[in-house]
Amino acid sequence: MKCGCRIQLDIPVGIRPACRHVHVEQPNFIRPYKHYESSVIQDVVDGKSIDTCVADDSTIWRWQAEHRQTAPHIETLLRSV
């Protein structure tokens, strides 16, 4: 979270009877498979809060590398729209 505090969320999970797949109602402020809010990750990638982020340096580096890798593809998609 932004303050570095850990919280536990009860996220509704269900199984679809027809296909037996798990369905998760994930809040919009959480990115899949991430432990930090989307806004925290975005601020780090934008260079706004690298010094104040409580994440490890390796995690910050991974977020930035992920952004560098996907940015050209996203830019192409936006231009095509």
12-68 pLDDT per residue, tens: 888 888 888 888 887 777 777 777 877 888 888 888 877 777 788 898 899 889 889
User: Domain count of the chain?
Assistant: 1
Say how many CA atoms lie within 13 Å of 69 toward its Cβ.
Answer: 6
Is position 63 within any domain?
A: yes
Q: Does the reported pTM lie above 0.85?
A: no
In this prediction, residues 1-18 reach a mean pLDDT of: 75
How much is the pLDDT for 35? 77
Q: Is residue 4 part of a domain?
A: no
The answer on pLDDT for 2 being more than 70 is no
**pLDDT, greater one: 79 or 9:** 79
Q: Do the Cβ atoms of 1 and 36 come closer than 8 Å?
A: yes
For residue 62, tell me if it sits in a domain.
yes
Question: Which domain does 31 fall in, by range?
Answer: 13-80
